[in-house]
Structure 1
Amino acid sequence: MKTDANPSQQVIDNALKLLAIVVLLAWCFAILRPFIMLIAWGAIIATALYPVALMIAGKTRLSEGKASSLLSLIGVILLLIPLVALSTGIYTSASELFTGLQDGTLVFPKPKPNIQELPVIGDKLYAMMTLAATNLEGAFAKYGDELRQLSSSAASVVGSLAGGLLQFIIATIIAGAFMNHAAACKTGLMRLVDRMTQGAGQSLVELSTATVRGVVQGVIGVAAIQSVLAAIGLVVAGVPAAGIWALGVLLIAIVQLPPILALLPAIIYLFSVGTTTTATLFLVWCILVSGSDAVLKPMLLSRGSHVPTLVILLGALGGMAMSGIIGLFVGSVVLSLGYQLLSSWLSHNSTEESQ
């Protein structure tokens, strides 16, 4: 009887231990769930920027921890600038619009006749802009519902943008903490992967690091460069809300679509209210910015792992659908990492079978 009871007792004990571990892990996951995306983005930023922190430490004689903190602080400041500018710009623009409507001093420029040549929307857009330029009150009365819907959509986009910038700031602070403890994080990750893969921890961690840096440099880095170039052209051409259009370029480029798609409204605006020379030069600049990835991607993506465009596209769209703007960045990197690890595992199995 005792011999029969002991195995049963061991099964019950093991089941209770397993249940306790599962409950604890589920509880920890529920606590960390709101922060998972921020932690993931912070880890990605830390992986991409750690070589920069090492370079700063080497040139300034600072410790790696201080160099990492300095780099994180610079990132936070750079992110605070557009957040403050966005908040100030919204307040200023709203105040000027409200004051202009009250005083009757708000004036819309009269559109050029050639705007009617635009396909599908040309005639309607010209009629609406002409009415706004000649009879502002009549335009608000006629297009009130459309303007309210547009204002609601714009407020939603701006709110999402401000929230995204705030999340980026928090993720940058988390990245600084990761970089401060880079050696411990790498050692712990290698031990975990070693335990799961029977000794392949170092190779898989190195592959993951190369993939993350390659995607950040070759996809997000290229998109950021194109966004900055687009912003320069928008500011020089005098297009209103240049920051919004530049953000559109960044998002479109990460999704692996031509950035000129985000600049089409600005191009139409310049051709309708600006001089032909300015609009033409801006159009040429937009074409150059949109095509610059053909030069930039081979320069930056070649430093890391090559990932199919479809994988990056699906990761970006899926991440954005799941977690908004920050998911756009995290999704493309995480899915690319999963693709590279799966490819490595499949090729490793194929090698073992051939032997």
Structure 2
Amino acid sequence: MKVNEEFSKHAIDAAIKIAAVAILTYFCFTILRPFALLVTWGAIIATALYPVALFISNKTKLSKGKASGLLSFIGVILLLLPLFFISSGIYTSSSEIITGLQNGTLEMPKPRASIQDWPIIGDKLYSALMLSYTNIEEAIATYSEELKSIATKSASILGSVAGGLLQFIISTIIAGLFMANADKCQAGMVKLVTRISDGKGDMLVSLSKKTVRGVVQGVIGVAVIQSVLAMLGLVIADVPAAVLWALAVLIVAIIQLPPILALLPAIIYMFSVESTLAASLFFIWCFLVSASDTFLKPMLLSRGSDVPMLVILLGALGGMATSGIVGLFVGAVILSLTYKLLEAWVNEGSESE
């Protein structure tokens, strides 16, 4: 009887403790949920860039905290630039279009006759462009519904891009705080992982850092480089909405598809409005940008963990579907990290047998 009473007492105590922990965990999750993605991306950025902060600290004799703050400040400035260009470009373009329509001075370039030879859309596109060239008012009236749809979708895309850049800025600031307290963060994470992994905290934390840096360098890093190179070519070629095309290159490169797929509309545009020589040079540049991953990936991936491209693809697509642009990056890293930790756990089980 005493045994049953003791068992019941311990069972009730355990149930109360579990319930209390579950309730606290639920409320903490609910409170912190809006910041979870930003903090996670900030931690990923901090893990990837901390060696750079140490390099700056060693070279400039700054403290780790100041070097981390400087690196974070530089990142915020670099992210503010495209946000400024997007907003100023939208304002300037909108003002010019409205003023041109009001004054009757808005002119469209004359389309090339070769556009008619394009499959499926050639004739309709040429007719619309020709009408815009000869009578812009009539073209707006004729294609008002299509223009409204395009304007709505464009506004949605631009809003998403601006929101994503703002999230990047916040995460970069959070990353600076993490890097400034890197030693404490790592010590705390090692203790936590050691507690829940039977003394394997150092090994698992080390594997996590290696995986995060490998994916950021070998996948996201390559995508950023290709995006910047594409942006350079787009600006020199004076292609409209260069920032958006560069962003498309970034997304396509992260999901492991050839970046030239994102540049095809820009290439078609160049061949339709520019000389054959200029369009051909732009195409060659786009091809070189797309092919650059053949030597960039082996060079950068060799510094990190090898993760199957399918895992990265699923993580990027799933993250983007659930959390937008920031989720594209976070999803690829988190799923890759989960894969490597699962692989380590499976291999450990096989070795113990």
Shorter-chain TM-score range: over 0.9
Q: Which moved more, 1:236-245 or 1:145-154?
A: 236-245
* 1:52-67 paired onto structure 2 within 5 Å: 52-67=52-67
Q: What is the alpha-carbon distance in structure 2 between the residues aligned to residue 207 and residue 117 of structure 1?
A: 55
Deviation at 1:137, TM superposition (A): 1.5
Residue in 2 that maps onto 1:217: 217
Deviation, 1:9, is: 2.5
2:10 aligned partner: 10
Partner amino acid for 2:346?
L
Q: Which residue is 1:189 aligned to? A: 189
Quote the offset at 1:88 in angstroms. Answer: 1.1
Per the TM alignment, residue 119 of structure 1 is displaced from its structure 2 partner at its CA by 2.0
Task: Give CA deviations for 1:188-242 in whole Å, capped at 9, x if unaligned.
Answer: 1111111111111111111110110010011111011101111111111111121
Q: Which amino acid aligns with 1:218?
A: G
8 Å CA contact 1:231, 1:243 repeated in 2 = yes
Which residues of 2 match residues 1-355 of structure 1 at below 5 A?
Answer: 4-353=4-353
Paired residues of 1:65 and 1:180 also in contact (CA < 8 A): yes
**Structure 2 CA distance, aligned partners of 1:295 and 1:122?**
37
Query: How far apart in 1 are the matches of 2:323 and 2:42?
Result: 15
Per-residue deviation, 1:100: 0.8
Q: Is the CA contact 1:315–1:331 (under 8 Å) kept in the aligned structure 2?
A: yes
1:166 maps to a residue whose letter is L
Secondary structure in 2 aligned to 1:30? helix
Distance 2:20 2:202 in 1: 31
Stretches of structure 1 that go unaligned for 5 or more consecutive residues are none
How far apart in 1 are the matches of 2:98 and 2:261?
31
Q: CA deviation at 1:6?
A: 3.6
Provide the rounded CA distance (Å) in 2 between the counterparts of 1:172 and 1:243: 20
Q: Partners of 2:111 and 2:93 in 1: how far apart?
A: 22
* CA displacement at 1:246 relative to structure 2: 0.8
Contact 1:267 1:283 in 2 (8 A): yes
Give how far 1:78 is off: 0.9
- Give me the CA root mean square deviation: 1.1
In structure 2, what residue type is equivalent to 1:23? Answer: I
Query: 2:220 corresponds to which letter in structure 1?
Result: I
Matches of 1:245 and 1:38 in 2, distance apart? 25
C-alpha distance in 1 between matches for 2:154 and 2:80: 21
* Superposition deviation, residue 7 in structure 1: 3.0
Q: Deviations over 1:47-86 (max 9, x none)?
A: 0000000000000001111100111111111111111111
Deviation at 1:265, TM superposition (A): 1.2
Q: Normalising by the residue count of structure 2, what TM-score does the alignment of the two structures yield?
A: 0.98
Q: Which moved more, 1:81-90 or 1:51-60?
A: 81-90
Q: Deviations over 1:296-326 (max 9, x none)?
A: 1001011000111111110000000110000
Shift of 1:3: 5.6
Larger CA deviation: 141-150 vs 51-60: 141-150
Deviation at 1:5, TM superposition (A): 3.4
Deviation at 1:122, TM superposition (A): 1.6
Structure 2 residue runs of 5 or longer lacking an equivalent are none
CA shift, 1:4, in A, is 4.4
Alpha-carbon contact 1:115-1:271 (below 8 Å) kept: no
Q: TM-score, normalised by structure 1?
A: 0.97
SS of the residue 1:169 aligns to: helix
Q: Equivalent residue of 1:120, what SS?
A: coil
Q: How far does the alpha carbon of each residue in 1:143-169 deviate from its partner, in whole angstroms, 9 at most, with x for none?
A: 111110000000000000000000000
**Aligned residues of 1:48 and 1:213 also touching (Cα < 8 A):** yes
